[in-house]
Amino acid sequence: LANSETLDTFKILIATDIHLGYLEKDAVRGNDTFVTFDEIMKCAKQNEVDFVLLGGDLFHDNKPSRKAMHNCMEALRKYCMGDKPILFEVLSDQAVNFGNSKFPWVNYQDENLNISIPVFSVHGNHDDPTGADGLCALDLLSCAGMLNHFGRSLSVEKLEISPVLLQKGSTQIALYGIGSIPDERLYRMFVNNQVTMLRPREDENSWFNLFVIHQNRSKHGATNYIPEQFLDDFLDLVVWGHEHECKIAPVRNEQQLFYITQPGSSVVTSLSPGEAVKKHIGLLRVKGRKMNLQKIPLHTVRQFLIQDITLMDYPDIFSPEQPNVTHKVQAFCQQKVEEMLEEAEKERLGNPQTPEKPLIRLRVDYSGGFESFNTMRFSQKFVDRVANPKDLLHFTRQREAKDGMRDEGIDFEALLSRPSSEVLQLRVEDLVKEYFQTAEKNMQLSLLTEQGMGKAVQEFVDKEERDAIEELISYQLEKTQRYLRERHVEASEEKIDEEVRYSHGDVTLHLHSTFPSTQGYITVNTQHEAFTPTQRTSEKQQPTAYTILQ
């Protein structure tokens, strides 16, 4: 298949989690995302792909800066516009596939545009639709004709996924997609059989079924992820976005008998082991029901090396009782950083595209009586050699920290004194929930819910939705007033308070996780004659054959 470039073979460039604009104000790392996105799109043009498929989080911020949007549009115009003919056609009803757009058709069919490489993308959790109009950054690019945004859902109660049907010669692809949805909500929808994937009625077994999803794949809680077995077993390949660790080689799910590729992010956004895996994008070839995935390494990604050391594992070198033990620990840490810098320099030789300064992370477990030292002073020794001097060294006492959290909950005064890198890992909605769970009785919410308030605060903080809290309060106030009028409650403060306490969490607050950004959402229940809902079966056709080119 790799050598048979025919009119029947789809060539698709796959990438996820590009996070344009991440740390764009950083003096060293500010342009990293833009340079790598340019490399990705250049790779698409050089390989003469049929289209580019993005798995969400094209932008890091919900409201990208003008710089981030400008760099994105520049790359799309530079590499995706031109006279190269498009050799595939769209067979499905585009008014359904792109119904949220004022221009409900694929961009290369617009008579006013000259597109050589179409880009299809779902939205992620960073660039998802927000606000009263439910718009996101991808909608701006879609309106400008530079990108095809698909996989949007208008309902918070059920999900009906209609594929984009593509054909090139004798090869047919059914492209399914779900833009990011809160994991708990989507998990509940799957459990309640409220997720339906439509299939073509004619020759349904002749389609290569490709699915793009942007959710937690690893388990972060009882329902804060999407188990692989929730997905329909007729799928051939799942492109899983949101997870940043690069696991691009397709892995077969032995229960559902489809393959999963996890391209990972193209930029390091957290100093964790998963991000240290080498970054790749994929070149997917599909002919008939067979596929081939070629791994393409990214050369412009900044190197990232991480190492964990536990001081108790080196009793021959130092112990807490020794005099000047802190100086010995500091010298030991400095030696480890020097070794990582030397390793990074060896890897960088021969590749001028790789940024000069690497990311280095040394995590030191100082349990057992050892003391930490000033990390800022230590980092000053490497300020001209690493890209992240402020986050170079990180002291941990993992067991003690976990025990303390379980017994005492969140200490908000202590929280403010933590390093910024730790605070950024906490979820805003979790802090709101913890606050009201530990608050005194007279500080408890009586009209609003903790979940609704948590979501609104998250919108306010993470996505700069200035009206999120005000809209939540207005929405809930109007809903409560309507409920009180319907029950003909006496217009006295005591009666109203009593009725609100009685109904809290019941009729007036039964929002299905609804808050201002989901206002106006309606339940879509449209049956398309060309499609039929899937039936989950225990049997599966012959598994898709694939190969991986290194």
DSSP track, 329-366: HHHHHHHHHHHHHHHHHHHHTT-TTS-SSPEEEEEEE-
Burial of 510 (0-12, 13-18, 19+ CB in 10 A): exposed
> What confidence tens digit (pLDDT) does each residue in 539-548 have?
455 445 555 5
pLDDT tens-digit map of 269-317: 999 999 999 999 999 999 999 999 999 999 999 999 999 999 999 998 8
* pLDDT of 131: 84
For residue 411, pLDDT over 60 is answered with no
pLDDT tens column, 68-110: 999 999 999 999 999 999 999 999 999 999 988 889 999 999 9
* Strands of the 393-396 sheet, one edge to the other: 304-310, 359-365, 393-396
Active-site residue numbers? 126
* pLDDT on residue 461: 66
pTM for the full predicted model? 0.78
Strand ranges (E), 115-258: 119-121, 148-149, 159-161, 164-168, 171-178, 195-200, 208-214, 237-241, 247-252
Q: Which pLDDT value is given to residue 504?
A: 54
pLDDT at 8 over 90: yes
**pLDDT tens track for 179-214:** 999 999 999 999 999 999 999 988 889 999 999 999
Q: Considering the chain, what percentage of its residues have pLDDT values greater than 70?
A: 78
pLDDT tier, 350 (very low <50, low <70, confident <90, very high otherwise) = confident
Question: What pLDDT does 530 receive?
Answer: 52
For 389-409, what is each residue's pLDDT tens digit? 999 999 998 654 444 444 445
pLDDT for residue 521 is more than 60: no
**Residue 538: pLDDT band by 50, 70, 90 thresholds?**
very low
At residue 155, the pLDDT reads 80
CA dihedral 373, 374, 376, 380 (to 10 degrees): -70
Q: Give pLDDT, residue 378.
A: 96
Structure confidence at residue 503 (pLDDT): 59
